[in-house]
Amino acid sequence: MPHDVAGDPHWHEPGKDLYAGTPSWPRLATPYDDFMEAQGVPIVREIGISNIFNLPMRRWERMGGHGCFIQLFGTEGKWGSYLIQISGSESLNEERHLYEEIYLVLEGRGTTEIWIENHNRPEIFEWSKGTLFTIPMNVNHRIVNSSSNPALLLAGTTAPNMLNLIRDENIIFGSSIHLTTRYDPSGNNFKPAQGLRPDPARGLALCRTNVVADVFTTELYLDNRRTPGYRRMEPQMAENVFYQYISEHPAGRYSRAYSPGTAAAFICIGGKGYSYTWPQEIGPTPWENEQGDNVLRQEYNEISMISAAPMEGDWFHQHFSTGETPLRLLGWYGPNNHLAQQAGIPGENVVDPGMVDVTYPGGASIPYHLEDPHVRESYMGAIKAEGTKNRMENKFYDKNTTYSFAGG
């Protein structure tokens, strides 16, 4: 039998009554992990980021700017994120790639040029602070800073999904295939959105658009599902499967705790507040069950970013608006992670556990009348410290009101 050689070990059959292999091991790097390391910029791995503007950045030669990767706990392999800074009056390098990409402009103003091979004229649109836009998959593009000051953009991508699947950067960045369902070079692909439609799964407010001019001020629509007065809108961009929505919790109110599902992250784009996150396995009343130390509190400040499901398993999450202006959030889930996108038998009934009380089978929403008393007590203290009016009406805590859900 050959002996092990450094860098080329062979498999050994276990002895009698012994198991093969090992019950634990150092997690292996994925192709996307290797890709990030090779870029030569910082990789920020955190459960949340209190201020995105303070993240470390280095020169990113491939991109032509300064940046860093952001890998929130719970999003690994499910979707990617990075921060990129463009110097004044400069541009990022031209590129194209076989993954989806969404940008939120945090600072600056400029233009983006979009084109495909053998098409004479690029399509150009403008952006400024607060603009949310997508790069249709595998189109040539160049992002230009039109001002003399640096521009800062936050990106969400499906790069981990594609790199881990294809495992060939030459294909990801070198394919010239034109995906006609993603981009029509003869049309006006970045015109202002007009009208709403119900999303095909749940009937929620959806807007088909490749650009939202200003996420800080764009109109949102009454939804009520998380908080009384809660508003929401889904921008559906370029046939992407990267799931996202913009939401708003009224000033002086907080949401019911619910399960947002795996890979969910929230970016605070207005107001202030905090969130609670805890494993479902410790129950809906963690402080009463002497499990309060297992509840993670994270602060929402503009511009902060948190993971709502930071580890494996199911998690409760809850939003608290403590300022005198509404708490506005951009939710990013990546592709195929949100319940509305998950596969199954076509036509079968799907129930959103975040819309069904925990007292019912499969439910993962904690109505106000069943929440841990600490939740309300701590919130009253938080808004008192801010000088914010309490807008949580007593009727919200009545189990007979519509603010308790017993069905999908």
Residue range 40-61, pLDDT digits in tens: 999 999 999 999 999 999 999 9
Let me know if residue 205 belongs to a domain: yes
Residue-level pLDDT at 16: 86
Size (the chain), residues: 408
Provide the token pair at 172.
């990801």
Same domain, 254 and 337: yes
Let me know if residue 406 belongs to a domain: no
Q: What gap in Å lies between CA 73 and CA 97, rounded to an integer? A: 25
* Identity of the residue numbered 192: P
Residue-level pLDDT at 9: 81
Count Cβ neighbours within 10 Å for each residue of 1-38 and write b for 16 or more, e otherwise: eeeeeeeeeeeeeeeeeeeeeeeeeeeeeebbbebbee
Q: What gap in Å lies between CA 259 and CA 54, rounded to an integer? A: 30
Residue-level pLDDT at 402: 56
Are β-strands 242-249 and 273-279 bridged in parallel, bridged antiparallel, or unpaired? unpaired
Rg for the chain (alpha carbons), in Å? 23
What are the residue ranges in the chain where pLDDT is below 70? 1-6, 402-408
Q: 0.85 cut: is pTM over it?
A: yes
Question: What do you get for the CA distance between the two ends of the chain, in Å?
Answer: 62
Let me know if residue 248 belongs to a domain: yes
Residue-level pLDDT at 70: 98
Same domain, 217 and 295: yes
Let me know if residue 5 belongs to a domain: no
Same domain, 126 and 244: no
Q: What gap in Å lies between CA 301 and CA 32, rounded to an integer? A: 30
3-state secondary structure of 383: helix
Same domain, 110 and 51: yes
State the total domains in the chain.
2
Find the domain containing 293 and state its range: 197-344+352-389
CATH code for the domain of 115? 2.60.120.10
Same domain, 91 and 135: yes
Residue-level pLDDT at 11: 87
Contacts of residue 176, Cβ cutoff 8 Å, sequence gap at least 6: 117
Residue-level pLDDT at 29: 97
Measuring CA to CA, which residue among 267, 205, 255, 264 is closest to residue 225?
Answer: 255
Cβ atoms 327, 300 nearer than 8 A: yes
Residue-level pLDDT at 408: 30
Same domain, 228 and 95: no
Query: 216 has which bridge partners?
Result: none
How far is CA 294 from its chain centroid?
Answer: 23
Let me know if residue 399 belongs to a domain: no
Q: What gap in Å lies between CA 357 and CA 238, rounded to an integer? A: 35
